[in-house]
A and B are shown apart, each in its own frame.
Chain A
Amino acid sequence: GAGVSQSPSNKVTEKGKDVELRCDPISGHTALYWYRQRLGQGLEFLIYFQGNSAPDKSGLPSDRFSAERTGESVSTLTIQRTQQEDSAVYLCASSFSRGAQETQYFGPGTRLLVL
């Protein structure tokens, strides 16, 4: 079946502009995660959604970052007033639920470059 999809695949923007990244999780997956991956680095947790529960925003690096999710479907990650240090790959993952032993399935990522 279809996996996690993300759009756009690449985004180049100017410092100070806002960007919006989109994630379509696997159908039926109630949990959705956003991660940031800087060049050559590991995965940095940003935010997590589980059904109608309040999102876990503990990983968001600043108030310029926000995310929304409509029910158990699409999520958007918004970065306002982008800075050069925001340049990274933004990965989305989904899992069936947020149980401790649930596998997360990743999308291909959005490569963001802030000039």
Chain B
Amino acid sequence: GENVEQHPSTLSVQEGDSAVIKCTYSDSASNYFPWYKQELGKGPQLIIDIRSNVGEKKDQRIAVTLNKTAKHFSLHITETQPEDSAVYFCAASRFGGMRFGAGTRLTVKP
């Protein structure tokens, strides 16, 4: 089955710096890759996603890149703000289910 690995498990940055979170997946049939943000006491919320026919997608300060050959994808957050502090999960989906990474706890220091 699909195995998704996510790094780092924790990340601390200064406000205004960039943050990068990386994920790798094992199943080459996976073709949809969402990223979720989970704030304390809440359920995960979709922040951006990318499909396999696209290499990069950007939405304001957030961007995701996908390298299908290497089977890895990354989340980039620029100009980080304290409200970006949360746990971020990547996921890889193919017909038959979605598997999640273990999460990255991002802390943005003011």
Contacts and interface: CB of A to CB of B under 8 A. Distances in A.
A108 B98 contact: no
Given A100-B32, A101-B93, A106 B99 contact: no
Interface stretch (B14-22, B36-44, B64-72, B74-82): B36-44
Interface residues of A, number: 21
Classify the secondary structure of B's interface with A.
Answer: strand
B89 interface: yes
A100 B94 contact: yes
Contacts of B96: 100
Most A CB contacts (10 A, CB to CB) among B42, B93, B98 go to B98
Interface string A77-115: 000000000000001010000111111111111000000
A12 interface: no
Contact of A42 (B32, B43, B89, B98): B89
Given A99-B95, A100-B94, A108 B42 contact: yes
Nearest to B49: A103
B45 interface: yes
Contacts of B30: 100
